[in-house]
Structure 1
Amino acid sequence: MPYLSNARYWLSGLSDGDIRGIAHKINQDGISCTPNFLTGEDLGQMRSFVSATIKRAGQQTVSLKSDELAGSGLDDLGNSAEFKALFARLYSIGLGRPAPEVKFYQILRCLTGKSVAEHSLVFHYDSYAITALIPVEIPEFGRRGDFLIIPNTRGIRSNYLFNLADKAVLDNALTQRILRRRASGGAGMKHVSMVPGNLYLFWGYRSIHTNEPVDEGAVRATALFHYADPHADSYLKRQLGRG
């Protein structure tokens, strides 16, 4: 079976009405899910890459960026014209703005080992308007690292300074404690049980989100594709070294 065949087939058939449906789902429910975006063969290649990556890291949590993903299959997806078009169209239709050039900030996040607690239940906003999450490997038993999201809690800020203020409030230790108490089922908190190979889309910049932990001996590997930094041209951001 050709690599990424399911993904390319689905992407190539998306109408503007389909994109509007995705945007509506994200606006209404906080997250849109496309089942079976990747095939078992796709996941097999990616899982082999994950296994080798974790082994090199000493069986501990590790994250890789775009330039470290050659041969994983995720590099092929990130370079796919059809995949890029999805983000540009979703941005234009869902946010009502001209779409900037599609350049992904891409991460493969492999959560495992004794450091899982440090990388879990850390609530945050993304720096990018749209986030795609594709689970590559999710534990079948025990703690599975469910995705937690409080959707669409803010708009796109007109000024980077306002964005910094939002993040300062969210990063506060008291705020984090309150949100962690809500993680077990507080109002507005959505629990999403990730399924490997599904494609999840949400407004990462606008939504507070995190993951629950996994057991030390388990592996939770997720591919993240971030697109469209609203403050990419901010002078203040560059001066702070965050450009």
Structure 2
Amino acid sequence: MTGGSVLDAGVSAHELVDRLDGEGFVCLPGVVAPQWLEDARASVSGHLAAYGVSDFCIIRPDSDSQSPAHRFVSDPAVHGLLRELAELRWPRGVAESETIFSVLRVLAGPQRMATSHAFHFDAAVVTMLVPLIIPEAGAGRSGELVVFPNRRPFRRSALLNLVEKLWTESRLRRGRILREVRSAPTRCTVQLQPGSVYLFWGYRTLHGNLPCAPDTVRATLLVHFGDPHRTSRLIASARALRRRLWASIEHTEATVVRF
């Protein structure tokens, strides 16, 4: 790693765009600084001590300026790469002042099915997934990422996007997706490796995760950039409602949401 950066992608944004368009899902192995990864894992242990052994996510963990999440999100190498990717593929989704949206997701609760199989599309142009702690409990029990790359295009219609998301996240549709996963698991599941990062077009790629075995911890930092519908009043209203719901759960800058 150079210049104290937490990330050294070692590849150009133009090359990554071609790979994301063609392959839909790109792994950059071993690009995360080892010391940062160690610090991030220690922060997860601290959160588990504070919130209990349960499933939860922290919205905008980078709000704490002393946190590993803040160091990652504020790294010029991370922000520059994500901005360039988004601008190359969907420039209308990137404002001049566009910022990164981050989520720290921790799965450690006893109800191991509670947060699995939640297949969805992200509301971001590009998603970077950073594994911190990943179980090694065998196939189907290690929280493997399930990914169906580029299942839809970037859409101009915000209303069509909402309808599509509602259908995709319905119980009926999720059941069909799960049958597809079970019929060919090696084709659509990824065993995540801490130290690597994974990139995909979040808006276009259907994804979720498999369950984790009891007494295991799965922790990932999710980094989103670009808003495909940033000028839509409909989407703005939906997000304002979601922010109010988060605020009612816990009145902190970094909002904790329990599953």
Match of 2:101 in 1: 105
Distance 1:108 1:4, change over 3 A: farther
Distance 1:98 1:160, change over 3 A: closer
Match of 1:178 in 2: 176
Match of 2:198 in 1: 200
Matches of 1:125 and 1:209, distance apart in 2: 7
| Number of residue pairs matched by the alignment | 237
Give per-residue Cα distances to partners, 1:13-70, cap 9 Å, x unaligned: 65xxx22221122222221111112133221111110011112222001111225554
Matches of 1:138 and 1:88, distance apart in 2: 28
Distance 1:146 1:4, change over 3 A: farther
Distance 1:182 1:3, change over 3 A: farther
Matches of 2:119 and 2:160, distance apart in 1: 18
Matches of 2:216 and 2:93, distance apart in 1: 42
Within-5 A mapping of 1:117-136: 117-136=113-132
Please give the secondary structure, in 1, of the residue aligned with 2:114. helix
Distance 1:122 1:189, change over 3 A: farther
Give per-residue Cα distances to partners, 1:141-197, cap 9 Å, x unaligned: 342111111111111111210101111211221111111112224499521110001
Give per-residue Cα distances to partners, 1:49-102, cap 9 Å, x unaligned: 001111222200111122555433121110122211101111122346584333
Matches of 1:4 and 1:174, distance apart in 2: 47
**1:86 partnered with 2:81:** yes
The amino acid that maps onto 2:235 is K
Matches of 1:164 and 1:98, distance apart in 2: 16
Please give the secondary structure, in 2, of the residue aligned with 1:169. helix
Q: Confirm or deny: 8 A CA contact 2:72 2:78 kept in the other structure.
A: yes
Match of 1:139 in 2: 135
* Structure 1: gaps spanning 5 or more residues: none
**1:34 partnered with 2:28:** yes
Distance 1:82 1:39, change over 3 A: closer
**1:23 partnered with 2:33:** no
Match of 2:42 in 1: 48
Please, what is the CA RMSD of the aligned residues? Answer: 2.4
Match of 1:164 in 2: 162
Matches of 1:56 and 1:111, distance apart in 2: 14
Matches of 1:129 and 1:36, distance apart in 2: 24
Matches of 1:95 and 1:59, distance apart in 2: 39
* Structure 2: gaps spanning 5 or more residues: 244-259
TM-score by length of 2: 0.83
Matches of 2:91 and 2:226, distance apart in 1: 13
TM-score by length of 1: 0.88
Q: Confirm or deny: 8 A CA contact 1:137 1:220 kept in the other structure.
A: yes
Match of 2:60 in 1: 66
Percent identity of paired positions between Structure 1 and Structure 2: 28
